[in-house]
Amino acid sequence: MSKTRRLIIVLAVLGIAFAFLYPSLSWYFFTPKEDQAIAVGSREQIREYSRRMAFKNLTELKRRAASGDEQPLSSEFKPILSVAAKAYKDARRPLPKVWNAKAVLLAFENERSAYDAIEAKYRADVLALKARHNNAVQLGLDLSGGMSVVIQADLPALEKKLGHPLSAAEKADAMKRGIEVLNNRIDKFGLTEPVIRQQGEDQIYVEIPGTADPDRINSIIMGRGKLAFHIVDDEATARLDQYLGTNPLGIDERTLAVADPSIVPAGAVVRKYYVKDSYGLDEFTGRYLVISETPGLDGTHIQSAQVSSDPITGQPETNFVLDKEGGELFYALTSANVNKKLAVVLDDKVKAYANIQEPIRESVRMTGFSAEEANNLALTLRTAALPIELSVVTQQAIGASLGEDSIIQGRNAILVGLLGVFVFMFVFYKGAGFNATLAQVINVYLMLSILTAFKLTLTLPSIAGFVLTVGMAVDASVVIFERIKEEMRAGKSRKAAIEAGFDRAFWAVMDANVTTIIAALFLAQLGSGPIQGFAVSLAIGNMVSLFTALFVSRLIFDFGSDVLRQKSVSISWRIK
């Protein structure tokens, strides 16, 4: 391979690695602790924070404007100033010379628009921080704590559904399927070392590494097996809308019982219709639907769900596939209710509804949604169909068992390891020792970037794998350097000795690292928990060390030959 091509590859890899590593650097080193605490909160907490800050800022601006305060606003109002400046530019109005309270308020049409704009700014900033945290390297329970949850499986409900007592084999199978579904859901959050195991006969214990975030648990048990399809009673819904138009207090918000019982027919119930708000939370639209009390189909019959586009109109649509039993039930339901609305109900909340245009069997297509609504519906359908109903028994945040001290000790171990390697290599290989040490620094840099890129979790065993890699990776440099020394003793020039040394050492380096990688991969597959974390980091380290030893180290030698015009290799005390 030419030197130019090798240089381009190395620079490209380093650039891509920095792009992957940037979120971690930004989150852990440049994001203040108080901002981190806000960003890792639940979306309900973020919504409360944004609204509180918007109200606080708007109240202060009004007070200052009313008192005639014309002093420029302090840095505390910096987020608001950018919003006000954008409002001025959108209205094509000249920017004020002094940004005081009055000038900021004049940027908006009224008090409500000012409040909405300020809240939107805080929301965007905090959600951007939350996205940055999600893209950063996640720390395991042993380093940063996390969430510990005990989930109860409702086996009696499954017995009732099946119509007979569960055998030991059926119970074991139900719990196994429940664990599999939970494992798949947790994997969507980029967590590679969750602890999910059966506890007792009917409970599941879950540990989720990383900062405690209630949203994760809510998503994991989303639906709890209570997804169902109901037929909408359009006539009763119209009567209810008309009744509430003149009697807004005619419905109990807690029980959803209507004061006039004649409006809702027997065998029907009232449910609220929800959509996702700007925070990704369910928001009541103010609309009530009257639906059949008995579901026409249970959500556990859903096998898959995805979003696609109509080939003719290009409009988004949600498609889901039912199992054979569900297909027969759905066909009977839709055949009897053509031109009526079908509501998707999750935990007694209507999440979507659509018209039934024709009888449908296993493959179902739902249209009439925006792209965001279609994606939300598909996610609801995918994540709600648990084989058994689950509920949280206990949920608590776990503090780090080893905490920041372990992180510091692990960091120091890597630094001391690098320093030890540098001293050893310099003593035995003089100037070439700097080459090996630089390759090791890049090695650690690339390993961390790969952790970030694949959203792997950093645990104490992972740090141990890094430290071991630092010591093992230098073996490749030792093999290469010894080969170069042999060529120099044979009287070859610097350039010829380096080229022959790398060529002759290639397969020895490859064999040593590939065998270690194979062993690490088997260990990662067969092991679990800490063993898996150690094996994954060891495999990554060996793969990266191949690149640094054969590409980066070679490039450094070529730089000395072609740019610095060096005639000899500083690689031994006995060879000049």
Q: Which amino acid, one-letter code, is at 506?
A: F
Alpha-carbon gap, residue 345 to 110, rounded angstroms: 38
Alpha-carbon gap, residue 402 to 399, rounded angstroms: 9
Alpha-carbon gap, residue 272 to 256, rounded angstroms: 8
Sign of CA dihedral 440, 446, 450, 456: positive
Alpha-carbon gap, residue 165 to 49, rounded angstroms: 49
Please list the pLDDT of the chain residue by residue as tens digits (576 residues). 677 888 888 899 999 999 999 989 999 889 998 888 888 777 778 888 999 999 999 999 999 999 988 899 988 888 889 899 999 998 899 999 899 999 999 999 888 999 999 999 999 999 999 888 888 887 777 777 777 788 888 888 888 877 788 888 888 878 887 787 676 556 544 434 567 888 888 898 887 765 555 665 665 555 444 678 899 999 999 999 999 988 888 999 888 999 998 999 999 999 999 987 888 777 888 999 999 999 988 877 777 778 888 777 777 888 888 888 888 888 999 899 999 999 988 778 898 888 888 888 767 777 766 776 677 677 667 655 566 777 778 877 666 655 667 778 777 887 887 788 788 888 888 888 888 888 888 988 998 898 888 877 787 888 888 888 877 778 888 888 888 888 888 888 888 888 888 888 888 888 888 888 898 888 888 876 678 778 888 888 888 988 888 888 888 888 888 777 877 777 877 765
- Which conformational region is residue 309 in: left (phi greater than 0), alpha (psi within -120 to 50 degrees), or beta? beta
Per-residue tokens: 394: 């206990």
Q: Domain 227-382, what architecture? A: 2-Layer Sandwich (3.30)
What's 3-22+404-562's CATH class? Answer: mainly alpha
Q: How is the chain split into domains, by residue range?
A: 3-22+404-562, 33-135, 139-223, 227-382
The full DSSP string for 385-447 is --SS-EEEEEEEEE--SSHHHHHHHHHHHHHHHHHHHHHHHHHHHTTHHHHHHHHHHHHHHHH
Alpha-carbon gap, residue 359 to 288, rounded angstroms: 26
Buried/exposed code over 120-157 (b: 16+ C-beta within 10 A; e: otherwise): ebbbebbbebbebbbbbbbbbbbbbbbbbbebbbbbee
- 308 in helix, strand or coil? strand
Alpha-carbon gap, residue 185 to 173, rounded angstroms: 18
Residue 446's nearest CA partner among 20, 75, 31 is: 20
DSSP secondary structure letter of residue 137: P
Alpha-carbon gap, residue 253 to 264, rounded angstroms: 15
Reply yes or no on domain 139-223 having CATH 3.90.1010.20: no
Per-residue tokens: 273: 């219709």
Strand residues in 45-142 grouped as ranges (E)? 138-139
